[in-house]
Every structure is written in C-alpha cells, then in structure tokens.
C-alpha cells in the first residue's frame, strides 16, 4: 500500500527557508513492500478467521436444516394424527347420537313399564284382597282353629244399661248445682219492694208486707265499648331535665284500643270460633283495624309460641293430627300437637313428614336426602347464645316420644314410638261389616269377627278414659284385653276382608299397645281430633286464611291461648294480664308468664357429662 505523503503548501518552502529533501525511490519501494507484506499477513489472518467463521456457520446451517427436517416430519405426523382424531370424533359423535336416541327410546319404554308395573301392583293387591293369600286351608273365624276360638266371648251389656243415657259411672253421686258464689260470677244484691202481682187475689187488694224471700237468677248484660279520654301528666326530672309522659295502665304504646279490647277480639275469634265479621260488628271496628290488632297481639305472643314449640318436643306422649287448610286460595295443611300440657297449631303448606320431624327427627336410615328444617352446622357459628331448636330439645331428653296418631304414612319415618288409634280401627271394622252387607247377606265369619272384636276396642277406650281405677287394676285389665285381642287377630280366618283387617294388627302389633305399658298413653287419638275440630269449623266457615300473615297469626294466637286454657288458666284474663305487663314493661318475658306445665308428662332430660369425662374427652 502506498504511503500517503502530506503535500505542503508552496509558502512552506520559501517562507520558512526549508529545503525539500529529495526522496530515494528504492527506499520508498522497500518501505512500501514491507508495508504490503504486513497488510498481506493481516489479510491472511482475517481470511483464516473468516473461513473458520464460515465453517461454523455452515455447521450451524446443517444443524438447522436437520432440525427443520425433523420439524417438518413432526408437522406431517401431527397433521395425520389430527385427521385421524377428526375422523374418530365424527365416529364418536355419530355413536353418541345413536346412544341418545336409544336412551330416549329406553326412557319412554321405562316410563311405560313403570306405569304398567303400578297397574299390575294395584291389580295384584286387589286380587290378594279378593283371594285367599294365605294357604287357603284356614277354617272360618269362630269355627275350629285355635282353642281360643271355641271359647264364648263376653256378652252384650244388659238392656237397662243400654237404655241409660249419660256418661257417669254407675253409682256416681254427682256434684249438684253450683252456687253462684262458687261459680265465680259477680253477685249483685238488689231489693225489690214494689209489688207486681200477675194474678190478683181479689178485686180490691189491700196488701201489707209480712216478710222477705231471696231468689237467685243470672242476668245477661250485653258487651259495650266506651270511648275514654284520659288526662295524662307530663313530668320533668329536676336533675337531668328529661321529660317523662304518664301512660294509661291498660293500653300499649301507640295503640288506640285497650288491652281488654284486644283480648276480647283475640279470644272470641281464635278460641270461641266467632267469625271475624261477627267480632268486628260486636267490637265496632273495621276489618283492617281488627286484623292489625291481631298482628300486634301475635307479635307480642311470639316468645310464648316459641316456648310452646320447645315444650312440645319435651313431652313424653303427644297426640298429632292434620287437616287441610287454604292460605290465599292455595291448599295447605293444619297440624295440631296436643296433650295435657301443650296444644300447638301449625299451618305449613305441606302434609309431609318434615313437619313432625322438626320436633322428633327421622329414624336412622329413613331421613330423605334433604329436609326442610335441616340446617348446616356453620349457620349458627357466629351466634354466641343459640336458642335450641325443637329437634335439639327433643334429643336432649332420654327415650323416644310416643306419638298417638292414625295410620297416616307421614308418621312412619319418625324417630318415635307409635300408638295407633283404636277409634280408627273401630271405624274400619264397622266399614268391613257394612261392605259385606252391601254385597248381600253378610257372611257369618265377618259377623262373628265383628261381634268378637268390637266390644274389646270399646272396652279398651273406656278403660283408658277411667281415671278413678287404681293403677294395679288398670294394668291387669289392660294386659287381659291385649291377650284377648291377640287371640282374635292371630286366629285363622278365610274371608279376604277379615284377613286384610287382621294383617293391620299383625303388621303394627308393637305400635298398638303402648297404653298397656303406661297409662299416661291413650289408646285413641280423640284428644287431637277434638283439638283440631275448631280449625275444621273455621275452614268451613271462612275457607282458610287470606294470606300467610293471617295463617301465622292464627297459629301463634291459637297455640298460646289454647295452651293457657288446657293448663287451667282463663285465656281472656291471662291475655289481659300479659298485655298490661307489656304496657308497664315492653321488655317483659312473655314466655315466663305461661302457666306452669305438668312436669310428670315430660321426658327425663339427659344428665350432663361428668367433669372427668369431659376433660378426658
């Protein structure tokens, strides 16, 4: 490479006195040759490095080409797999459509078979009742068979006893007419000095008083409403300056009607069964005002109602019954739980077992998948003072409750002991005889069975109703009646109707004689039938409640006032006293004001665990 020589201007030579040196061409060539050689070595080194770099790049390119080839092979393989998967998906979709079509066909066939099965079961049951489902070799009832069948049964009562009316025992002296002072009626003393002779003794009577006589009678004074204007004092505290207003003793806060007014309306409508229209006309109020008053009364009595619900779960024996009830035109049901301690009325929209199961729970293995009253354990985790539910209260006591009822299947899954009603069995026995008479002349076997068993059912109910008989005599007669019934219902019979009726006793034998072991239990369910009768009458008169709020008021007020009555209190006076108590103290405990229950009818509560056991646990 030629070395660049800087050219200097002409003034450099003549102005500075510098003399330009003469260059040697050979020397310059040598220098250029040496410089060229150095450049050549440098280029060779660069060329070698470039060749190595190109070789490395070629190797990388070969590797990339091999990777690209592998990626292309994988892509082709994945494409083939996708095509195969799409074909498989199409085949599976086609099979799925076929399976769904077959499923729909099988579902329709299953529904048809279920309907056919139900029809066959009904037909089978009908044929079993018509045919002899046992062995066909039984002798007619009352002829042959077990030795007990040859014994004569108890004869009917004498004709003079059948003609006697009234329910008192033979030889009962009676109580006589009560005096007026004993009956609790206020006695008013009057003096009658004038004469009002209806039949004069002569034309010109001249009477002179010779003495006095006393005559007692009752006088009815119609109820009346009076409007009261009360002048109430206003007071001011000298210490703090607070203004205090005096209140009437018999009126709740912000109420326009006295406590006696509210109590009279509630007792007449919910206890005595008067219609709302009659009570409104008697009290002189409108429909809206009357039901607003009942809303207020129900809200005040709600704590007592909840206490009655808990008390129902504590009872040893409870009579239960249900009937239909309409709420806002929708059919629901009315339930009653009754004994000598409580009378609880409920108006849910269902007749299912979930209503009594809220108090007694389900037996093991008989609970449905979900129950209406079931709650998760975490719902009450934030509540430090949890009030127990009726079910928890029931399980806090030893033993299972004895539920007296008819043979409605809704009671079967409950965790209770059953006592089925003899009165219903008595009706079924009479229906058996009536159905045989409709077909013509009743068979002798049905007549003999009816005449043998009916007196024992009536005698059982009379024995349970007799409170004067000593315990030893009661249990002896009860066991005797049970044995006599057992011989009848387990005897051989040929008539299908008699066999079907005997099957009821045989299947439910353990649930028919709780009254034999404990005389607190009755063999009939008449207590619940009588308790629910006012509700049936109210349903027929008013066709139910106009809304859920009305049904709620009815169950609260009816339950509380009826419970007060069966515990020996006067519902009207008790409600007046409670409302007066709330007028003085709005935070008063209404539940504590209920009359004391009979603790002998309760189940015994479980004993709490000992301290050592709780610590070890």
Instruction: Decide if 199 is inside a domain.
Output: no
Structural domain boundaries, residue 505: 422-517
Residue with tokens 């070395």: 3
Percent of the chain with pLDDT over 70: 79
Same-domain pairing of 474 and 429: yes
- Arithmetic mean of pLDDT, 299-317: 93
d(CA 55, CA 73): 27
d(CA 208, CA 90): 126
Instruction: Decide if 109 is inside a domain.
Output: no
Under the banding of pLDDT at 50, 70 and 90, the label for residue 147 is very low
Of residues 137 and 452, the one with the higher pLDDT is 452
pLDDT tens for residues 196-236?
A: 555 566 767 677 777 777 777 777 777 777 788 888 888 88
Instruction: Decide if 68 is inside a domain.
Output: no
Instruction: Decide if 91 is inside a domain.
Output: no
Kindly tell me if the per-residue pLDDT of 544 is higher than 80: yes
Of residues 600 and 7, the one with the higher pLDDT is 600
Under the banding of pLDDT at 50, 70 and 90, the label for residue 25 is confident
Residue with tokens 């390119």: 61
Same-domain pairing of 436 and 503: yes
- Work out how many domains the chain is built from and give that number: 2
d(CA 199, CA 10): 186
Under the banding of pLDDT at 50, 70 and 90, the label for residue 438 is confident
Q: Is 604 exposed, middle or buried (0-12, 13-18, 19+ CB in 10 A)?
A: exposed
Same-domain pairing of 460 and 506: yes
Same-domain pairing of 498 and 433: yes
Percent of the chain with pLDDT over 90: 46
Same-domain pairing of 455 and 341: no
Same-domain pairing of 479 and 586: no
Lowest mean pLDDT among 199-213, 364-378, 494-508, 552-566: 364-378
Q: Calculate the CA 340 to chain-centre distance.
A: 22
d(CA 568, CA 340): 10
The DSSP symbol for 608 reads P
Same-domain pairing of 267 and 303: yes
Same-domain pairing of 496 and 553: no
Domain finish residue from 459, 487, 517: 517
Same-domain pairing of 480 and 541: no
d(CA 560, CA 567): 11
Token digits for 68? 């690209």
Under the banding of pLDDT at 50, 70 and 90, the label for residue 59 is very high
Under the banding of pLDDT at 50, 70 and 90, the label for residue 193 is low
| Pair 522, 404: CB distance under 8 Å | yes
Q: Is 408 exposed, middle or buried (0-12, 13-18, 19+ CB in 10 A)?
A: middle
Buried b (16+ CB within 10 A) or exposed e, 228-249: eeeeeeeeeeeeeeeeeeeeee
Instruction: Decide if 146 is inside a domain.
Output: no
Q: What local confidence, expressed as pLDDT, does residue 215 receive?
A: 75
Instruction: Decide if 31 is inside a domain.
Output: no
| Pair 428, 501: CB distance under 8 Å | yes
Q: What local confidence, expressed as pLDDT, does residue 382 receive?
A: 45
Same-domain pairing of 442 and 567: no
pLDDT tens for residues 520-532?
A: 999 999 999 999 9
Same-domain pairing of 435 and 497: yes
Q: What local confidence, expressed as pLDDT, does residue 614 receive?
A: 45
Instruction: Decide if 61 is inside a domain.
Output: no
Say whether pTM exceeds 0.85: no
Mean pLDDT of the chain, nearest integer: 82
- Number of CB atoms found within 10 A of residue 357's CB: 25
Domain finish residue from 454, 488, 517: 517
Same-domain pairing of 478 and 332: no
Instruction: Decide if 498 is inside a domain.
Output: yes
Domain finish residue from 489, 517, 545: 517
- Arithmetic mean of pLDDT, 109-135: 80
Under the banding of pLDDT at 50, 70 and 90, the label for residue 96 is very high
Quote the radius of gyration of the chain (alpha carbons, Å). 50
Strand partners, 82: none
């Amino acid at each position: 490479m030629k070395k660049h020589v800087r050219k200097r201007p002409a003034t450099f030579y003549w102005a500075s006195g510098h003399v330009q040196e003469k260059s040697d061409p050979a020397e310059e060539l040598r220098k250029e040759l040496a410089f060229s050689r150095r450049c050549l070595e440098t280029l060779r080194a660069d060329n070698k490095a470039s060749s190595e770099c190109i070789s490395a790049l070629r190797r990388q390119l070969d590797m990339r080409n091999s990777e690209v080839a592998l990626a292309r092979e994988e892509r082709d393989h994945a494409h083939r797999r996708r095509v195969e998967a799409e074909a498989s998906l199409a085949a599976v979709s086609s099979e799925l459509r076929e399976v769904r079509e077959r499923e729909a066909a099988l579902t329709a066939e299953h529904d048809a078979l279920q309907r056919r099965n139900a029809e066959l079961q009904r037909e089978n049951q009908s044929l079993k009742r018509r045919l002899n489902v046992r062995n066909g070799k039984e002798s007619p009832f009352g002829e042959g068979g077990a030795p007990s069948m040859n014994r004569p049964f108890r004869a009917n009562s004498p004709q003079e006893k059948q003609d006697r009316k009234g329910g008192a025992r033979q030889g009962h002296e009676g109580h006589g007419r009560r005096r007026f002072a004993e009956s609790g009626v206020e006695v008013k003393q009057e003096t009658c000095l004038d004469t009002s002779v209806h039949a004069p003794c002569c034309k010109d009577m001249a009477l002179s008083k010779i003495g006095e006589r006393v005559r007692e009678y009752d006088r009815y004074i119609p109820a009346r409403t009076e409007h009261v204007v009360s002048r109430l004092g206003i007071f001011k505290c000298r210490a703090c300056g607070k203004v205090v207003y005096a209140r009437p003793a018999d009126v709740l806060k912000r109420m326009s009607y006295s406590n006696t007014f509210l109590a009279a309306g509630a007792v007449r409508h919910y206890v005595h069964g008067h219609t709302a229209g009659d009570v409104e006309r008697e009290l002189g109020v409108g429909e809206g005002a009357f039901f607003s008053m009942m809303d207020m009364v129900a809200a005040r009595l709600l704590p007592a109602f909840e206490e009655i619900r808990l008390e129902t779960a504590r009872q040893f024996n409870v009579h239960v019954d249900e009937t239909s009830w309409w709420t806002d035109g929708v059919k629901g049901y009315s339930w009653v739980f009754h004994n000598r301690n409580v009378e609880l009325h409920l108006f849910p929209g269902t007749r299912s077992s979930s209503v009594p199961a809220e108090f007694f729970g389900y037996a093991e293995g008989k609970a449905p998948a979900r129950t209406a009253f079931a709650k998760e354990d975490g719902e009450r985790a934030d509540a430090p003072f949890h009030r127990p539910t009726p079910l928890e209260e029931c399980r806090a006591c030893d033993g299972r409750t004895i539920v007296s009822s008819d043979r409605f299947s809704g009671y079967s899954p409950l965790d209770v002991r059953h006592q089925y009603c003899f009165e219903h069995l008595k009706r079924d026995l009479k229906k058996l005889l009536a159905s045989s008479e409709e077909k013509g002349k009743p068979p002798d076997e049905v007549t003999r069975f009816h005449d043998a068993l009916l007196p024992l059912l009536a005698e059982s109910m009379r024995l349970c109703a007799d409170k004067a008989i000593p315990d030893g005599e009661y249990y002896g007669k009860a066991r005797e009646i049970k044995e006599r019934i057992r011989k009848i219902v387990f005897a051989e019979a040929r008539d299908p109707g008699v066999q079907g009726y005997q099957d009821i006793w045989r299947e439910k034998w353990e649930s028919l004689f709780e009254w034999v072991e404990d005389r607190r239990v009755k063999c009939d369910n008449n207590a619940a039938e009588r308790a629910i009768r006012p509700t049936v009458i109210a349903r027929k008169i008013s066709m139910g409640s106009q809304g859920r709020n009305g049904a709620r008021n009815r169950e609260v007020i009816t339950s509380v006032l009826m419970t007060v009555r069966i515990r020996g209190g006067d519902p009207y006076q008790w409600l007046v006293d409670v409302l007066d108590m709330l007028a003085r103290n709005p935070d008063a405990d209404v539940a504590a004001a209920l009359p004391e229950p009979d603790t002998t009818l309760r189940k015994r509560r479980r004993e709490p665990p000992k301290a050592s056991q709780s610590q070890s646990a």
